[in-house]
Amino acid sequence: MTAADRPRSKFPLQLDRLSGGAASSSKTLLRPQRDVAAAHVDAGKRAAPAGLGLDSPDVRRRMAERLREGGVVQPQVLAAFANVPRHLFVDPALATQAYEDTSLPIGHGQTISKPSVIARMLELLFDGANARRKGNLGAVLEIGSGCGYQAALLCELAVRIVSMERLKPLHDKARDLLAPLRSNRLRLVHGDGMLGHPPGAPYDSVIAAAGGADIPEAWLAQLAVGGRLVSPVQQGEGGQVLVVVDRHEDGYERRVHEAVRFVPLKSGLAG
C-alpha cells in the first residue's frame, strides 16, 4: 500500500484543539544546526505577541514552500510539513519563531531541530530502497522523541513508528503533545535509544536526533534489508556529519553527507 492509498491523518484538526499547550553527497550543503546554548540566546531576543494566526494552514504552507525553495523536493515530506503545526510543540513564549528555520530549546538541554535539517533527513530516508518500493517510510525507529514534532511528521510518512526517548520528562511531554493524534501506528518508548527497540525490528527506516562517535551496532542489527538509517555522527575534531547507511543482502553501505550539529548521543535512562 502506498502513502497515497492510506487515509490521511486528521492531525492538524485534532491538535489545533490544544491550548498553550563514505562518498560525499552532491546536494547543497545546509548550514550547521545551532547548539543548545545558541538556541537559548536566540529565544531570549524576542517576546511572543499574541494573535498572530499561527493556526492558519497558510503559515505551514509558507514554511513548506521555503523548504522547497531550499532544495527539498520530496512531495510527501513537504506535505507533512504543511500539515503538522510546529508551534504546538514549542514553548508558547517561542511560538512566534516556530515557523522560522531555527532550532529552539525544549528544556532539559535539548532542542527541536531546524525544519530544514529534519526535512533533509526525512528526504534522505525516502531515497532508501524499501521506501522507494513501498512509497512510504514503512516501519520507523526514531531515536530521540524530544517534544514529539518529528514523530508527528513521521505519522504522515510511515506505516508504523517506534519513538524512543531516554529523558523521562521529555518522553512525558511528547506523550501529552501527541495524545490528540490518537494514532495506533505510533508507540512512544521511554528507553535507552542506543539499544534500539528489538521487539519492533526490523525497521525500514531509522532516524536519530543525537550524534555519537559512531552508529550503534544495535541500530544496524535492527535495520531491515533494503532499509536506510540516517544519523548525525561525530567526525573527529571536525564536528558532526550526517551519515547514511543502507543495508543490503550482503552487508552495509555507508555514505557521509553534510555537516550538522545535534546534541550528543548518550546511553542510559534519565528522570
Query: Which residues on adjacent β-strands are paired with residue 231?
Result: 243
- The pLDDT score that the predictor gives to residue 15 is 37
Residue from 241, 236, 243, 200 nearest 218 by CA: 200
Catalytic residue from among 24, 25, 103, 113: 113
| Residue 113 is among the residues annotated as catalytic for this protein | yes
From first to last of the 271 residues of the chain, give the pLDDT tens digit: 544 444 444 444 333 333 333 333 333 333 334 444 444 334 333 333 444 579 899 999 999 999 999 999 999 999 999 999 999 999 999 999 999 999 999 999 999 999 999 999 999 999 999 999 999 999 999 999 999 999 999 999 999 999 999 999 999 999 999 999 888 999 999 999 999 999 999 999 999 999 999 999 999 999 999 999 999 999 988 799 999 999 999 999 999 999 999 999 999 999 8
User: Is the separation of the CB atoms in 203 and 130 below 8 Å?
Assistant: no
- The pLDDT score that the predictor gives to residue 105 is 95
CA atoms within 13 A on the CB side of 170: 25
Contacts of 76 (CB under 8 A, 6+ apart): 3, 126, 136, 156, 157
- The pLDDT score that the predictor gives to residue 52 is 55
**Alpha-carbon distance values, 95 to 45, 46, 170, 213, 249 (Å):** 13, 10, 18, 34, 46
Give the chain's domains with CATH numbers. 31-264 (3.40.50.150)
Q: Is the pTM of this model over 0.85?
A: no
Specify the pairing of strand 251-260 against strand 263-264: unpaired
Residue 229: Cβ within 10 Å count: 26
Residue 101: Cβ within 10 Å count: 17
d(CA 142, CA 225): 18
Joined grid coordinates for residue 135: 512509497
